[in-house]
């Protein structure tokens, strides 16, 4: 992989807490695999394999709705979800803290990451690899995209999403908490969200209608 990079800065506002961030960008000239734009790819490949093994998506939306609690007619809150999984003969405990976002009616309720968020993550990986939108953001890997690009990628994959659905999915991926420990041990292996940061450079693109 070529070491040639382009350098610059990106300023954006995090959709999770509304704070403005200034980030240094380093864009590799070639990206062939998702993990290839992480430094020391061999070291990080095991980390990505572990990440992919995490059962972080909740597939039963009806059950999710049934689990919500709150005052009658205002079911908002979900409990922290706990799951056990195995990776390379080691048992791990995953705790998923739900994200809070507005539903289609404008009501604020809690969500676990679902299959819809999984589709968004897969589409962003595709943009990072095949369209060379991946970059370094400081020491981390990321992907730069427009809402239009992401919606088109999802449409090409047979999963069209309305703009409000897509924004909700990005917010859920940014806000839902993933906490992983080895079973029987207290130290955290991972304490993050699916997307540690989602920053918008153009508020009009985030709020407006995309044709």
Per-residue pLDDT of 154-185, as tens digits, reads: 999 999 999 999 999 999 999 999 999 999 88
pLDDT at 145 over 90: no
pLDDT confidence of residue 100: 96
Other beta carbons within 10 Å of 113: 24
pTM for this predicted structure: 0.75
pLDDT confidence of residue 131: 64
Question: Average model confidence (pLDDT) for the chain?
Answer: 78
As to burial, measured by CB atoms within 10 angstroms (0-12 exposed, 13-18 middle, 19+ buried), residue 6 is exposed
Model confidence pLDDT, tens digit, residues 40-77: 444 555 677 888 899 999 999 999 999 999 988 889 99
**Residue 16 contacts residue 174 (beta carbons within 8 Å):** yes
Q: At a CB cut-off of 8 Å and minimum separation 6, what does 37 contact?
A: 28, 31, 128, 134, 135, 136, 141
pLDDT at 121 over 90: yes
């Amino acid at each position: 992989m070529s070491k040639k990079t382009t350098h610059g800065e990106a300023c954006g506002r995090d959709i999770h807490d509304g704070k403005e961030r200034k980030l240094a960008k380093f864009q590799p000239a070639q990206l062939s695999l998702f993990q290839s734009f992480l430094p020391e790819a061999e070291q990080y490949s095991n980390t990505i394999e572990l990440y992919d093994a995490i059962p972080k998506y909740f597939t039963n939306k009806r059950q999710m709705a049934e689990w919500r609690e709150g005052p009658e007619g205002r079911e908002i809150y979900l409990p922290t979800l706990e799951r056990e999984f195995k990776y390379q003969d080691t048992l791990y405990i995953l705790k998923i803290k739900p994200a809070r976002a507005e539903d289609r009616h404008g009501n604020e309720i809690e969500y676990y990451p679902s299959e819809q968020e999984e589709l968004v993550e897969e589409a962003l990986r595709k943009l990072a690899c095949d369209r060379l939108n991946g970059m370094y953001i400081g020491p981390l890997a990321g992907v730069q995209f427009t809402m239009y690009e992401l919606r088109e990628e999802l449409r090409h994959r047979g999963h069209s999403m309305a703009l409000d659905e897509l924004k909700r999915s990005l917010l859920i991926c940014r806000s839902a908490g993933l906490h992983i420990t080895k079973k029987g041990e207290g130290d955290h292996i991972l304490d993050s969200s699916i997307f540690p940061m989602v920053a918008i450079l153009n508020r009009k693109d985030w709020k407006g209608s995309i044709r």
